[in-house]
Structure 1
């Protein structure tokens, strides 16, 4: 019997597999396509993952800007990840099985993981890191991106080696990312604010092509389609441990999850290893507790509250709202975007943003809260 079986070969699954293997747990990762390269572009703030090796970084832009109705320089180092380097860092100490999980049967002494091809893996602990599959229609963030030569991107940004984290100018209920990739190319991505359901990527593709055409550019390189499920509730405790996007580790307001998943892999593996002698059920319960202490549950609820309030905001107020957010002290910005267990920092950031907002934005937030309470 294998100690741990993890379904899902993305960054979250591989980070947890590496962390479990480092603690002496025999670990198998089930990946539908082990040889397939990661095509998504991942980014994070350097202070979210200080242990990240340089080999996993594709680009560290010298300047990161955000635009509401005007520019704001972000006083946090933003990193674009090198997917091959990230994967090499995470691919250590565990075995990989090509396949897809069809079902799991839990018993008193362990679990039986059934693959679609008929094979069965016996394990003490089963982790689902295969991505979000929420029931019903959820809030989604969608995006369509194109990779351009860096010299072309200078028609969209004022200087090379500049990342645009969010640009609401010329927005139509959406914003633009401009991310240098460190290889002489730049990802330009049209992104929709969260909707239920998400805006179709074909609509975003048309918007991006129109935006590029307005400055004399055409999309002729690699393209990227993104769909992120945002509004996932905290999972119930059980013998299966959901992790990564499957475990609601996606930030409900920003859509970011990679840094959180990689950082949490270590404490979750610690919790499993420390309770392993007490049996599979105890190890699963310990993993759930490591992932979702009461402080993390409270912050997740606040973030989901913020998501719903923002999604109901009139489009003309959204850039104004983000103008105020990016004028907050950097500690408040960091607390809301990265402070997963920071209840006081998150509430202070949300309160400060309300106080700074002009009356039309406050009126919407007050009205939305009253509407929620009346239901």
Structure 2
């Protein structure tokens, strides 16, 4: 019998498996395809995960830009993750089982985890790190990308070795994301900020190919498809412990989650280990408390309201909104994008943005709860 069984072999699941194993918990990770490479391109702000080793960094672009209706230099170091290096860093100390979970049965002293092939694993604690399921009633961020030689990407971005966080120029219905990958190639990605349901990938692919054709380019390399569920609510306490995207750790307004999931693995594992002697139910409750203290629940609610405000704006105003967001002082930008438990910083950022914005944008922000809190 394993102490902890974790379903999901992505970065979130592996980070928590490593952390639990380091605390002396017998840990099993269930991965549908343990040998499969991670195909997604992960990026993060360096200050979100200072423990990330150099071996897990593929590229540290010399500058980061954003374009609303005007260019903005982002005064934060942006990193592109080396997936193989990240995986090596996160592996170790736990067992890996190839399979997919079909059913989970919680008993008084433990849990039975049934796999699709009929095998059953006995666990003290079960963690679901298998991701958030797309549903028609949830907002999604979708994107379609292509990897180009760096010299081709210069037709889209004026400066080499530059990450473009978002570029709204030339379109009001989505933005371009441009990311050097550190190997002489660049990912260019046509992105839909948020819709319910998400914008179809086929439409984004057509938009990207049209954009490339207008620049005299063609997609010749690897393509990337992205679908991120944005507005997962705070999970209820229960015997199953959700983690990563399944736990709502995706930022509702940006779609980022990697740094948050990896960073939280350590305190969540601490909480499980400290409560272990009191039984599986106590360990599950402790893990939930470590994931969702009251400050994090408040900030998550503010961010979800921010998502809804953005989605309620006419498309032509969204670039204007981001023009003003990127003129905020960096500490306020960081508070909203990365301050998961920073209630005062998040409300201050929302209030400052409201004061800066023109009335045509402001009227769509009047219902922000952050404004009510700051008065």
TM-score band w.r.t. shorter chain? over 0.9
Displacement of 1:7 in angstroms is 0.1
Q: Secondary structure at the match of 1:269?
A: helix
Question: For residues 199-220 of structure 1, what are the alpha-carbon distances to aligned partners after superposition, in whole Å with 9 as ceiling and x for unaligned?
Answer: 0011001111111111110001
Is the CA contact (8 Å cut-off) linking 1:18 and 1:93 kept in structure 2?
yes
Q: Does 1:44 align with 2:33?
A: no
- Cα distance per residue 1:97-147 (max 9 Å; x no partner): 000000111111110101010000001000000010265521000000000
Deviation of 1:159 (Å):
1.3
3-state SS of 1:333 partner: helix
Deviations 1:61-83 (A, max 9, x none): 00000011111110000000000
Aligned ranges 1:18-167 → 2 under 5 Å? 18-133=18-133, 136-167=136-167
What do the CA deviations read for 1:331-368 (whole angstroms, capped 9, x no partner)? 00000000000000000000000000011001222379
The 3-state SS of whatever aligns with 1:55 is: helix
Distance in 2, Cα, partners of 1:237 & 1:126: 13
Using the alignment, how far apart are the partners of 1:134 and 1:40 within structure 2? 17
Cα distance change, pair 314–136 in 1 and its aligned pair in 2 (3 A)? closer
Deviation, structure 1 residue 297: 0.3
- Residue 269 (structure 2) pairs with residue 269 (structure 1): yes
Which residue is equivalent to 1:293? 293
Match status 1:247 vs 2:252: no
Secondary structure (helix, strand or coil) at the match of 2:159 reads coil
Instruction: Answer whether contact 1:141 1:194 (CA < 8 A) is retained.
Output: yes
Deviation at 1:173, TM superposition (A): 1.1
Q: Which residue of 2 is the match for residue 342 of structure 1?
A: 342
Q: Which aligned runs of 4 or more in structure 1 are off by greater than 4 angstroms? A: none
How does the TM-score come out when normalised to structure 1?
A: 0.97
Query: 1:191 Cα deviation (Å)?
Result: 0.1
Alignment of 1:277-356 (within 5 A): 277-356=277-356
Residues 213 and 29 of structure 1: CA distance in aligned 2, closer, same or farther (over 3 Å): same
Find the aligned partners of 1:138 and 1:227 in 2 and give their Cα distance.
12
Task: Give, in whole Å, the separation in 2 of the partners of 1:36 and 1:263.
Answer: 24
- Does the 8 Å contact 1:275/1:286 carry over to 2? yes
- Counterpart in the other structure of 2:373: none
SS at match of 2:186: strand
Q: Distance in 2 between matches of 1:79 and 1:368?
A: 31
CA 1:368–1:123: 2 relative to 1, 3 Å: closer
State how far apart, in whole Å, the 2-side matches of 1:104 and 1:323 are.
47
Q: What whole-Å deviation, never above 9, does each CA across 1:264-302 have from its counterpart, x for those lacking one?
A: 000000000011111100000000000000000000000
Tell me what 2:372 maps to: none
Structure-1 separation of matches of 2:122 and 2:255: 34
Partner SS for 1:40: coil
Structure 2 unaligned spans of 5+: 370-375
The answer for unaligned runs of 5 or more in structure 1 is 370-375
SS of aligned partner of 1:171? coil
Contact 1:15 1:265 in 2 (8 A): yes
Instruction: Deviation per CA, 1:8-48: give whole Å up to 9, x if none.
Output: 00000000000000111110000000000000000000000
Contact 1:134 1:232 in 2 (8 A): no
**Structure 1 368/290 Cα, relative in aligned 2: closer, same or farther at 3 Å?**
closer
